[in-house]
Amino acid sequence: MALNNDTEINEEQRIGDPMEVAIMEYLQHIKDPFIIKQNHPRKREIPFDSERKMMSVICEINKREYIFTKGSFDSVIKRCTKIEIKGKINKLTKEEIKRLKKLEKDKSGKALRLLAYAYKPLAKNELGEENDLIFQGLIGVMDPPRSDVAQAIKVCKKAHIRPIMITGDSLNTAVAIAKDIGILTNDKEAITGEELDQLTEDELYQNIFKYSVYARVSPMNKLSIVNAWKRRGKVVAMTGDGVNDAPAIKASDIGIGMGITGTEVSKSVADIILVDDSFSTIVAAVKEGRRIFDNIRNVITYLLIGNLTEVIIVFVGLLFGYTIFFPIQLLFINLITDSIPAIALAFEDASSDVMSKKARKKDSSFFTPFLISKILISSCLKSFAILFIYFVNLHLYSADIAETTAFLCLIALELCFAYSCKNIKKPVINKNIFNNFKLNISILGLMIISTLLFVTPLKSIFHLTNITWIQFLYCIMIVMVMFIFDELLKIKLSKKFKD
């Protein structure tokens, strides 16, 4: 165990694979394993690979070379013909193999990762072939999942994301861990790489939905799994840390490398690198991605509604020969009143149901029937409110007052609809309506700027005139009615139109 171990010690700190470090720490209670390594340096080695699932080293003890092998139980036991029990070397019988297999099954069923050890003395000039070995024993290492993984898996399932476990561990170990963290509910959903090799690409494509756990897999198995899911039209994210994971990481839609334990090869082909190697960070990234996408939709919806409203009003004005808005007023709306709230909307927190929504398809359109209907209907509502204000004041008072009240109404609607676009599918009139600090500050600032336009000499530049408090109040009342009506309309539109 000490000689076939790549752990190094540097200023009292052990450096290496966490599993191998754990083994060296265990051996420390018996004898210093680093002294053993120092006294018997390696002469040659046969490195681990995913096909053999073993690693061997050749060392000299008392002027004789020995090969020491470790690996998966299935791989090692096949190459053993003898067994050492209490210092005596006996022939490895079928009954003994049967007993060992039962032991391996029992221990791996308790979520232990098992390593088998074997050795043999080498004849002179023998290179060191991994056969006719003497079986020495098994060591079980508990590699428990992080405490937050089970909750992250639960969130994934709620978010319509299917977690798949692909591991080099034995089937029993993989099944035990998968059940513990919530990936697996039925043993039939697990399959080994050996069984996977018996399936053609089309058979795997047909049966890919059946399996959630893949054990004792090869790099080609991993690649086949990723490709089968992609053929099904799914967006596939693959994470791993080893060289063997690199082909599957590269083939996936989103390759995720491990920043701490990951090899340079796996990190070089990855799209994203996790600096903390935590699965729950992937879930947090999904949530952040959905938040960003929702906010982009909210901003675009807000800007399009505002611009379409202006187009409708200007068109109606031209149609009937009225100048409802002056160019400088439209410039103010577009550059100031629209832009600042739009930027603030990008900082909106994720909605409470963001991780229960269905995942979008790769080829889904940004402008869904719901979004189109929302933009068109909200634009018509805003246009109706402004045109109503304009023509009523034009009839009762004068063109100057009509233009001023229409401009006031447009500003007020833009400010109100900025809050409405915090969530374009659900009403925002609740306790969270003012939870976006940046939006609150921007709206407050715009209210101050707008007030200055109406009460200072700037009003002459913007073609504004004095209005009474009564005229101001009924403008605001109509704006509030339209805002509430639009909020109620969200519920109807989200039920009627597909999103």
In the chain, residues under CATH classification 1.20.1110.10 are 290-496
pTM here? 0.79
What sign does the dihedral 283-286-288-290 (CA atoms) show? Answer: negative
CB 248 within 8 A of CB 225: yes
In the chain, residues under CATH classification 3.40.1110.10 are 40-142
CB 402 within 8 A of CB 391: yes
For residue 51, the model assigns a pLDDT of 78
For residue 363, the model assigns a pLDDT of 78
CB 249 within 8 A of CB 238: yes
Closest-CA residue to 184 (of 167, 159, 206): 167
Token representation of residue 406: 């229409």
Q: Is 467 exposed, middle or buried (0-12, 13-18, 19+ CB in 10 A)?
A: middle
Residue pLDDT, tens place only, 207-249: 999 999 999 898 899 999 999 999 998 999 999 888 889 999 9
Q: What whole-number distance in Å separates Cα of residue 209 and Cα of residue 232?
A: 9
In terms of CATH, what superfamily is 40-142? Calcium-transporting ATPase, cytoplasmic domain N (3.40.1110.10)
Q: What whole-number distance in Å separates Cα of residue 117 and Cα of residue 20?
A: 13
Residue 67's pLDDT band (cuts 50, 70, 90): very high
pLDDT(362) > 80: no
Angstrom distances, CA of residue 412 to CA of 219, 222, 337, 386, 447? 61, 57, 10, 10, 9
DSSP letters for 137-206: EEEEEE-PPPTTHHHHHHHHHHTT----EE-SS-HHHHHHHHHHHTS-S-GGGEEEHHHHHTS-HHHHHH
Its CATH class, for the domain covering 290-496, is mainly alpha
Q: Is 324 exposed, middle or buried (0-12, 13-18, 19+ CB in 10 A)?
A: buried
Residue pLDDT, tens place only, 438-469: 999 999 999 999 999 999 999 899 999 999 99
Q: How many residues does the chain have?
A: 499
For residue 169, the model assigns a pLDDT of 85
Order of strands, edge to edge, in the sheet holding 213-215?
Answer: 165-166, 213-215, 190-192
CB 166 within 8 A of CB 218: no
Q: What whole-number distance in Å separates Cα of residue 255 and Cα of residue 236?
A: 8
Question: What are the phi and psi torsion angles at 147 (to 5°)?
Answer: -60, -25
Task: Tell me the sheet residues that pair with 60.
Answer: 65
CATH placement of domain 149-281: 3.40.50.1000
CB 282 within 8 A of CB 290: no
In the chain, residues under CATH classification 3.40.50.1000 are 149-281
Residue pLDDT, tens place only, 111-148: 888 999 999 999 887 878 899 999 999 999 888 888 88
Question: What are the phi and psi torsion angles at 55 (to 5°)?
Answer: -145, 140
Residue pLDDT, tens place only, 145-200: 888 899 999 999 999 999 999 988 889 889 999 999 999 988 889 999 989 999 99
For residue 215, the model assigns a pLDDT of 92
